[in-house]
Amino acid sequence: MQVEITVNVNGREVKKVVEQVDGTLEQMEEKIDAMSRRVACEALQASVEAVQSPRPLFRRKGEGSVTGDTGRGRSSD
């Protein structure tokens, strides 16, 4: 069976994967799962790159443009 996964970001095709998948149902499931995970990683990266500057910071800026602590402490695990 031929499996095709296409990823579009903002209407632009960023990734297209076409693979032949065969074998037992379990083998086919594993191959399609691995294929979708690879494509998902690439789609996430393309989405991040599509964000226009300035990108939002995940942490507050500290003095001297160094990112600061978010205020959450470390767990004692």
pLDDT at 31: 94
Question: What pLDDT was estimated at residue 76?
Answer: 54
Look at residue 70 in the predicted model and tell me its pLDDT: 57
Residue 76 lies in a domain: no
Per-residue pLDDT tens, the chain, 77 aa: give them: 999 999 887 788 888 999 999 999 999 999 999 999 988 888 888 777 777 777 666 666 666 655 555 555 555 54
64 inside domain:
no
Domain that residue 50 falls in: 2-58
- CA torsion sign for 10, 11, 14, 17 is positive
Report the pLDDT value the prediction gives residue 47, as an integer from 0 to 100.
78
Q: Count the domains in the chain.
A: 1
- pTM listed for this prediction: 0.56
Assigned domain for 73 exists: no
What is the signed CA dihedral for 52, 45, 12, 53, rounded to 10 degrees? 10
